[in-house]
Chain A
Amino acid sequence: MDEHRSEVLGFLRAMVGSDEAEDCFQETFLSALRAYPRAEAGNVRAWLFTIARRKAIDHHRADARRPTPAGEPEAVADGLISSGGRDLDGEVWAHVAGLPNKQRAAIALRFVADLRYREIGSALDCSEAAARRSVHDGLRNLRGAVVQPTGRGPR
């Protein structure tokens, strides 16, 4: 499981922001360890992300119950290192945070955790085709959002 820790932490930062990601990370691995001897883990990686996704959802639910809404979008890209795009990063990630939850998760699983569509499907509890669609829809929404009149989009 150790070998997946960077990807899991990256995924969680993309889902709940970097301040909250560590709690979710600990919960994810502790749950996995509790279940491990009994869990029928065909694909350990996909299974870990299934747990991580659930922890992120639990976190959002707990967050929604709290009286003051926790700070969100801008913090999302903090602690994530770009491996390709340059100054676009912060802006794109702020928009990722605004996507419907399933698309946000699909995008994070695809690009941050580098999962295959089949694994994304099992983490999101849907078919491979549906996973592919979620990534696709997410990308389309982002393309639209990034050029919205924030004055910061590319010409």
Chain B
Amino acid sequence: MRNGPSDSDLEGALRVRVDDEAAERAAERTAARALDEGLADVAYATVDSPIGRLLVASTERGLVRVSFHTEQHEDVLNELVVRISPRVLEAPARLDEVRRELEEYFDGRRKRFELALDWQLSRGFRAEVLRKLYENVPYGETASYAEMAADAGRPRAYRAAGSAMGSNPMPVVVPCHRVLATGGGLGGYGGGLDMKRFLLRLEGVLAE
């Protein structure tokens, strides 16, 4: 009489999985349909850049978030779920324009972003400071925290202006790397000072 397979052989044969790429492709096609049906509120993608992999996210209104590899992407996605909507989907095609402008910027071919922005992750004075920064401090120029505070209408609130920079939901695009300490020191940067130096060199503010 023949014996059946041992339990561990049988269970081993049953423990199968699909390769992640197949699942990723299926998810991408699903995301396209979901977007067409208006089922997603936030689309995100990752973009490779000289300062590491960026996660970019947008809503119907425009770009809403850029994050560095120094932030866990998982944490950023959770933040989007909590603060915007649980309907967050990976949908690279929806971020094509963002990816293209970022690539041009890092190649030195783009001095100004022309993306629609969704400011909903910033509130109050912080939002005010960041909008002024976006509008008034162009490529290759810098401002101090104190100047940013004054520009937003509260000249003495330079500390608050500093924390506004730290809260910037769209770094690189909203150029908080152009804001320096009053004495000309680098100040701080969410992604680390090496990143800030890299961006300032790219824009010709710092020598190569």
Contacts and interface: CB of A to CB of B under 8 A. Distances in A.
A33 B26 contact: no
B46 to A, nearest CB: 13
A12 to B, nearest CB: 9
Contacts of A112: 14-17
Contacts of A107: 14
Interface residues of B, number: 34
Interface stretch (B1-9, B119-127, B173-181, B196-204): B1-9
A65 B103 CA distance: 52
A113 to B, nearest CB: 9
Interface string A61-85: 0000000000000000101111111
B3 A147 contact: yes
A124 B89 CA distance: 27
A102 interface: no
Given A5-B26, A36-B86, A81 B5 contact: no
A65 B23 CA distance: 29
A144 B1 CA distance: 13
A5 B9 contact: no
Select the residue from B4, B9, B13 with max chain A CB neighbours within 10 A.
B13
Interface residues of A, dominant DSSP: helix
B18 A10 contact: yes
A92 interface: yes
A75 to B, nearest CB: 14
Q: For the side of the interface on A, what is the size category?
A: 35 or more
Contacts of A83: 12, 15-17
B1 to A, nearest CB: 9
Contacts of B86: 36-37
A5 B4 CA distance: 33
B27 A2 contact: yes
A83 B8 CA distance: 12
B22 A111 contact: no
A47 to B, nearest CB: 13
A101 interface: no
A139 B10 contact: yes
Contacts of A82: 12-13, 15-16
A45 B85 CA distance: 18
B40 interface: yes
Interface stretch (B28-36, B50-58, B138-146, B185-193): B28-36
Contact of B15 (A111, A153, A154): A111
Given A85-B11, A112-B17, 14 more contacts: A9-B26, A14-B16, A25-B26, A30-B33, A30-B34, A34-B39, A37-B86, A81-B18, A85-B10, A85-B15, A142-B14, A153-B4, A154-B4, A154-B5
7 contacts: A5-B24, A8-B23, A22-B29, A29-B30, A36-B86, A82-B12, A93-B16
Interface of A: 2, 5-10, 13-14, 22, 25-26, 29-30, 33-34, 36-37, 77, 79-86, 88-89, 92-93, 96, 107, 110-112, 139, 142-144, 146-147, 153-155
Nearest 10 interchain pairs by C-beta = A84-B12, A85-B13, A85-B12, A111-B14, A80-B16, A6-B23, A143-B4, A88-B13, A33-B39, A92-B13
